[in-house]
Amino acid sequence: MSDIENLKSELLAQVEAADSLQTLEDVRVSALGKKGAITAQMKNLSGLEPDQRKAMGQALNALKGDVAAAIEAKKEAMADAELNAKLLSEKVDVTLPARPETEGFIHPISHTIEEVVAILGEMGFEVAEGPEIEDDWFNFTALNIPDDHPARQEHDTFYLPGEGTNGRKVLRTHTSPVQIRTMMNTKPPLRIIAPGRTYRCDYDATHTPMFHQVEGLVVDKSTHMGHLKGCLIDFCRAYFGVDDLPVRFRPSYFPFTEPSAEVDIGCTREGGEFKIGHGDDWLEILGCGMVNPKVLENCGIDSSEYQGFAFGMGVERIAMLKYGIPDLRTFFESDLRWLRHYGFQALDVPNMVGGLNP
């Protein structure tokens, strides 16, 4: 048996010493091949006594397995080493820049409108839309703004040459005509918001001839001015992300609401830095009121049965306040630097449960 032990150590040493796949193959052939050392010993088994043959056979089989395993292990180790060497030769400079990609953004106006919809949607409002070239009647008369009313002059209306079935064509000065169209076509109860482009013939540091509004409208049998206050205070606090934001309602005048109010939020300009929240100052952000009964009647809604509220705010204005954008005019300049800076990522979808103000 010591012969076998000797053979084993000799063969394993040869395996260990092999330095290439070829020498390893030579070792395999010399051990396990048809004319190999182990094979030769196997052939001799038939000449032995049965009990000796059995013991010898087992020993030889074990030897065969050990040597084969050693060769296999050596082979793997050699392949790994080879691969490693190959991979090392493939080294690149990982500090090279990645391939160029361009990143897109969502405009702050779109984002802000989606924020407003996300908040008011939770309160049961649905989005409504309408044409931007309107008939005079929808933009003014139906809203209780008669011809020659000073309020109409304050709108700085853009006119078009045509006449519609309901008066001269104008660019809508607010999204209120959407409210009119909705009230005429839908039976109350109603809860809608109308975001969209609006136009006024005015251009200076704080006015652009086109801007965006979101207006809201509720019509049912019981909604009163307390609900208006609740709705807008809740809205402002959610939008600006300030739970205890001071919100103040002041009497004002709009022909289409009665009573009417303007809404201020608290702010401070201490130390030259503007901040929304508790402070010594107020900032006007929107107008609102209870829908004037005349407007309801103009839309065929019985004002002795139904009532409701309406509000309107400038999208750019609330975006400027929230995101610290200093100049209204820049919204429409399409300056790539501005858009990349103030824009929002494609997948940044505003919603309440996801956290509106992360």
Partner 1 sequence: MKFTLSWLKDHLDTDATLDQVVERLTMLGLEVDNVEDRAAGLEGFVVGEVLEAQKHPDADKLQVLTVNNGNETLQVVCGAPNARKGLKGVLGASGMYIPGIDMTLKPATIRGVDSNGMMLSEREMGLSDEHTGIVELDADAPVGEKAVEVMGLNDPVIEIDITPNRGDCLGVRGIARDLAASGLGALKPLGDGPDGRVKPMDGVFDSPIDVKLDFPAGAESACSQFAGRYVRGVKNGPSPKWMQDRLLAIGLRPISALVDITNYSTWDLGRPLHVFDADKVSGDITARLAKAGETMLALDEKEYALDEEMCVIADNEKAEAIAGVMGGLESGCTEDTVNVFIESAIFDPVRTAQTGRKLNLQSDARYRFERGIDNDFAVDGMENATRLVMELCGGEPSNAIVAGDGPDWQRTLDFRPSRVKSLTGVDVAKDEMERIVTVLGCSVDKSGGDKSDAANWKVEVPSWRSDMVDEACVVEEIIRVNGYHNIPHVSMEREDALPHAAVSSALRRRRGVRRLLAGRGLIEAVTYSFLPAAHAELFAGEGGVPDSVRLSNPISADLDVMRPSLLPNLIAAIGRNDARGHTDGALYEVGPQFAGDDPDDQTLVAAGVRSGQAVARNWAAPARAVDVFDAKADAIATLEAAGAPVTNLQVFAHEEGGPQWYHPGRSGTLRLGPKTILANFGEIHPGVLKKLGVKGPVAAFEVFLDNLPAQKAKKSQARPLVKLSAFQPVERDFAFLVDASVEATNVERAAKAADKQLIADAKLFDVYEGDGVADGKKSVAIQVTLQPFDKTMTDEEIEAVSAKVVASVKKATNGELRG
Q: Does 283 bind partner 1 (CB under 8 A)?
A: no
How would you class 300 by CB atoms within 10 Å of its CB: exposed for 0-12, middle for 13-18, buried for 19 or more? exposed
From 30-38, 61-69, 203-211, 265-273, span contacting partner 1 (CB under 8 A)? 203-211
Taking the complex as a whole, the smallest distance from the CB of residue 73 to partner 1 amounts, in Å, to 35
Q: How far apart are CA 110 and CA 90, in angstroms?
A: 47
In this structure, which amino acid lies at residue 276? I
According to CB under 8 A, which one of 47, 50, 251, 355 is a site residue for partner 1? 251
| Contact indicator for 113, 194 with CB cutoff of 8 Å | no
Q: Which two tokens stand for residue 230?
A: 């609740």
Torsion, Cα 106 111 113 118, to 10 degrees, reads: 130
Place of tokens 């995101």: 323
Taking the complex as a whole, the smallest distance from the CB of residue 343 to partner 1 amounts, in Å, to 6
Q: How far apart are CA 23 and CA 138, in angstroms?
A: 95
Q: Does 329 bind partner 1 (CB under 8 A)?
A: no
Q: Does 345 bind partner 1 (CB under 8 A)?
A: yes
According to CB under 8 A, which one of 30, 53, 57, 105 is a site residue for partner 1? 105
Taking the complex as a whole, the smallest distance from the CB of residue 88 to partner 1 amounts, in Å, to 22
Question: What size, in residues, is the chain?
Answer: 358
According to CB under 8 A, which one of 258, 268, 275, 283 is a site residue for partner 1? 258
Taking the complex as a whole, the smallest distance from the CB of residue 277 to partner 1 amounts, in Å, to 18
Q: What is the DSSP string of 237-269?
A: HHHHT-TT--EEEEEEEETTEEEEEEEEEEEE-
Distance separating the N- and C-terminal Cα atoms of the chain: 79
Q: Residue 26 or 234: which CB sits closer to partner 1?
A: 234
Q: Which two tokens stand for residue 137?
A: 């009647």
Q: Residue 85 or 98: which CB sits closer to partner 1?
A: 98
Q: How far apart are CA 212 and CA 210, in angstroms?
A: 7
Sheet-wide strand order for 167-171? 133-135, 167-171, 159-164
From 27-35, 63-71, 115-123, 272-280, span contacting partner 1 (CB under 8 A)? 115-123
| Contact indicator for 92, 156 with CB cutoff of 8 Å | no
Q: Does 210 bind partner 1 (CB under 8 A)?
A: yes
Taking the complex as a whole, the smallest distance from the CB of residue 268 to partner 1 amounts, in Å, to 18
Q: Residue 75 or 107: which CB sits closer to partner 1?
A: 107
Q: How far apart are CA 146 and CA 297, in angstroms?
A: 15
Contacts with partner 1: how many residues (CB under 8 A)? 94
- Among residue numbers 33 through 92, which ones bind partner 1 (CB under 8 A)? none
According to CB under 8 A, which one of 43, 250, 278, 329 is a site residue for partner 1? 250
Q: Does 355 bind partner 1 (CB under 8 A)?
A: no
Q: Does 100 bind partner 1 (CB under 8 A)?
A: yes
Q: Residue 250 or 278: which CB sits closer to partner 1?
A: 250
- Among residue numbers 288 through 307, which ones bind partner 1 (CB under 8 A)? 290, 292-294, 307
Name residue 215's beta-bridge partners: 194, 312
Q: Residue 37 or 151: which CB sits closer to partner 1?
A: 151
